[in-house]
Structure 1
Amino acid sequence: MNLIEPLLRGAGLATALLLVLVGGVRGGWLQRADLLMMLTCIISYLACSSPSLGCGAESAALPLLLGALVFPFAFWRLASVVLEDDRRVPWFAWVGAAAMVASGVLTAAEYLPVPASWRVATSGLVHKFLAIAFVLAAGVRAWRSRDGDLVESRRRLRWIVMGGIGLYSLAVTAVEIHLQRAPAPAWLDLLNVALIDMALMGAAVFLLGVRQGAQEALFEPAARRSAGPMAQPAPPAGASLDAALVERLTKLMEEQHLYRDPELSVGKLAAALQVPEYVLRRLILARLGFRHFAAFVNDYRLREVIARLKDPALERRPILTLALEAGFGSIGPFNRLFRDTHGMTPSAYRERALRL
């Protein structure tokens, strides 16, 4: 009997379990719930992909099967939370995840009375299509938010981890589509487990101490802000801060209203401030407490809209017009930001403000 494959699989399971336990204790279970969910999915996949276990053959193994099937959704969710500080899950994502898991169960659970032809031609393809869609959506999020990410370690990590895991997940899915329900060759299964082990070992090195500062930057909760004077958190001890540069930045934003440009980018603002991009990124992150450039700019935009919603002279001016004039590219992101900040719609806020 070949002992290499079970030994590698056991090492991967042990590493993933260690990451779950230590990562949860070190950072808090709630704070890192999405990372822990993805690690749990990897544990389930390592267990279910074992030729000796056969998750699809026994109903008792259904929790492991569900965990393995949820991985693409967990990967997308981790990209949303870690890379964009976005914890919202739209309804269509829930629907897609439910359809992906349900079709995956119908395909893999051999004890269910499903015709073999239907498993491959219908439910199997639905599961693979939705899995690919979630992985690609995570990649789009990683690409879309790359320039506005102000956390340097996170900007590097998105290509190393999100790109690597995403491409590998797509490759595994392509192989599964090619094999359909046939078992993978022994050498391919061994290679798959070995690569997963290497990725887990790398994650353990990163998350368990070698890059603790970067780890904290990844999972630090996003600052909550309301429309009003911009808060400036206390700088870390020994940090070199340029108060004059902050003053110049504030003047550019408040007097020249650069935030009204819907296409404003880090590069454009750095050029206007006459500093390198890395200086501006470090300034906004360390001095003003914003982890995303979009959050920094939208804070100014939102405060302008708030002020105009309180103005009786602008009572009949459409809220959409106010949002577009402040620099928001469309009404959707503005409405979401407004509700997240104030707990009500802009129209309800205007009505209450004008009654006071």
Structure 2
Amino acid sequence: MPLSDPAPLLLDAALRGVLTALLLLLALVLGRDRPRLPAARVGVALALGLALQVAGSTPSFEAWASRLWQAPLVAVAAGNAVLFWVFARALFDDDFAPRPLHAVAWAAVALLAGANCAVLVGSGLAIAPLTLGLQRAAPLVFALLAMAAAASRWRADLVERRRRLRAFIVGAGALYSIAMIGARWQSPRWQLSGTMATLDVALLLAIVAVVAWRMVRLAGSDLFPAATPVPALPAMEPAAVLVPETGAEPATPSEAVPRSKAGVERTESAPADPAPAASPEPTPEVDPAEDRLADALHRLMTAERGYRDEDLGIAQLAARLAVPEYRLRRLINQRLGHRNFNAYINGFRLQEALAALADPAKRERPVLSIALEAGFQSIGPFNRAFKAATGLTPTEFRRQKLADS
């Protein structure tokens, strides 16, 4: 940009200042409200990383600073692609836990980008084109991974406003990443300058502004689950369960059944409806059609044990009940108080497994058989859900209950 025309420079600086302030504000809010939640922690890291990326991509800084000075900021900017993928996974999975693989992926991409900037680019080494190609491909790969993570879990989210926000974050973020990759591909040094640099900041500012505005309108419990520790398993009846979505105290069978107006009773051997993830929103008026749907759902889950279908999803369940999917989502979320469909179904499965593991007559039955009969697809997800819900492994729980009996 020519110095004789300061207007574009001032516009670029103003946009970067506003965007940086908004990113820092988001990091502060996420860190303050949910300091122990993985999604919030990753969100803070991504917001801070984007703030550094905004500063490091300023055209005047890129023109003035040596490659050695730019290398740390380039490394952070490249690592943001990995953070976006991890954030998408955490945002769509209330039970997400960071793994060493995530840190290794971030470090590998950041080190690769930093080495390219500081040493390899322009060095004439034979390996330089390969490493530069890998660096340029990384944002596209992780943007696609983020969209895949969102697509695989988006339908299980029952909080409608949160579903829309999550879809916007991942969709807009992925499209922004792909668009900027295409723009930077035209530059021999992978840098934006002039109008394109300002447009880059303006697009990112628009996305962050929408996210911030919609997050302010959402209640904290709508966007993220309650960050409460899971208590140790107390003594309970075999059919009681500690639902993994909430970490709430286990409900006895009589307490766990939300009976609708028609009052469908559960059978003695069928598991009760799992405790809700949060207090259901008050219903302004009684809807007979919703009552009938609640009764049909309760009967399907308890008397008919529909949860045993390992491939059961929200669409399949809505088809079995012959109702639109949105009505079933609204019922399970607003009336029964659950935030996630998979956690709702797994609550029934865990209740059956708890009862079977505590039954002396089934002491010789393998844990895997009990898990598969209850509807879990494999032993891994069952063990994780059981541990999150009870604080014990299935074998430890069985040993404790049989010793007590």
| 1:7 aligned partner, one-letter code | L
Contact 1:227–1:299 (CA<8 Å) still a contact in 2?
Answer: no
Matches of 1:285 and 1:136, distance apart in 2: 30
Unaligned runs of 5+ in 2: 227-244, 257-273
Following the alignment from structure 1 to structure 2, what is the Cα–Cα distance between the partners of residues 86 and 107?
36
Note closer, same or farther for the CA distance 1:66–1:6 as it changes in structure 2 (3 Å cut). Answer: farther
CA distance in 2, matches of 1:71, 1:299: 36
By how many angstroms is 1:4 displaced? 1.7
Which whole-Å CA distance do the structure 2 matches of 1:151 and 1:330 have between them? 27
Aligned pair 1:297/2:301, yes or no? no
Instruction: Give the corresponding residue for 2:374.
Output: 326
Residue in structure 2 matched with residue 345 of structure 1 by the alignment: 393
**More deviation, 199-208/321-330:** 199-208
Paired with 1:240 and 1:37, the residues of 2 have a C-alpha distance of 44
Aligned partner of 2:223: which letter?
A: L
CA RMSD of aligned residues (A): 3.2
Decide whether aligned partners of structure 1 residues 126 and 86 sit closer, same or farther in structure 2, where only a CA change above 3 A counts: farther
Alignment-mate amino acid for residue 21 of structure 2: L
Corresponding residue for 2:21?
17
Identity across the alignment (%) = 31
**CA deviation vs aligned residue, 1:167-187 (integer Å, no higher than 9, x gap):** 221232344455453543533
Find 2:202's aligned residue among 194, 206, 210.
194
Report the CA distance between 1:348 and its aligned residue: 3.0
Name 1:167's counterpart in structure 2.
Answer: 175
Work out whether residues 226 and 341 of structure 1, in 8 Å CA contact, stay in contact via their aligned partners in 2: no
Looking at structure 1, the residues matched to 224 and 383 of structure 2 have their Cα atoms a distance apart, in angstroms, of: 26
**How far apart are the structure 1 equivalents of 2:142 and 2:381?**
21
State which of 83, 95, 108 in structure 1 corresponds to 2:104: 95
Larger mean CA deviation between 288-297 and 79-88 belongs to: 79-88
1 CA distance for matches of 2:190 and 2:341? 48
Cα 1:42–1:97 shift into 2, 3 Å: same
Aligned pair count reads: 352
Query: For residues 232-285 of structure 1, what are the alpha-carbon distances to aligned partners after superposition, in whole Å with 9 as ceiling and x for unaligned?
Result: 454335544656654442222111000001121223323444443222211211
Residues 52 and 349 (structure 1), Cα distance of their counterparts in 2 relative to 1, 3 Å cut = same
Please tell me whether the aligned partners of residues 153 and 214 of structure 1 are also in contact (alpha carbons under 8 angstroms).
no
Measure how far apart 1:140 and its partner are: 0.6
- For 2:316, give the aligned amino acid: K
Equivalent residue of 2:156, what SS?
coil
* 3-state DSSP of counterpart to 2:365: coil
> Any idea what the Cα deviations from partners look like across 1:137-191, whole Å, max 9, x if unmatched?
2111111122222111232234433112112212323444554535435333232
| 1:311 matches 2:359 | yes
Quick one: distance in 1 between partners of 2:126 and 2:392? Answer: 47
Residue in 1 aligned with 2:246?
A: 223
Q: 1:180 to 1:319 in 2, by over 3 A?
A: farther
Kindly indicate whether the alpha-carbon contact (under 8 Å) linking 2:139 and 2:177 is maintained by their aligned counterparts in 1: no
The aligned amino acid for 2:348 is Y
1:74 aligns with 2:83: yes
SS at match of 2:155: coil
What letter matches 2:99 in structure 1? P
TM-score normalised to the size of structure 2? 0.75
Task: Tell me if structure 2 keeps the 8 A contact 1:103–1:123.
Answer: yes
CA distance in structure 1 between the partners assigned to 2:154 and 2:59 by the alignment: 40
Contact residue 75 and residue 112 of structure 2 kept, 8 A: no
Q: Which of structures 1 and 2 has the bigger CA Rg? A: 2
Shift of 1:298: 1.0
Task: Indicate the larger mover: 297-306 or 112-121.
Answer: 112-121
Task: Note the residue ranges of structure 1 that are not aligned, 5 or more in a row.
Answer: none
The answer to whether residue 235 in structure 2 is matched with residue 235 in structure 1 is no
Provide closer, same or farther for how the CA distance between residues 217 and 99 of structure 1 changes in structure 2, counting only shifts above 3 A. Answer: same
Q: Is residue 22–residue 209 contact of structure 2 (8 Å, CA) maintained in 1?
A: no
Contact 1:79 1:138 in 2 (8 A): yes
Of 24-33 and 282-291, the range deviating more from structure 2: 24-33
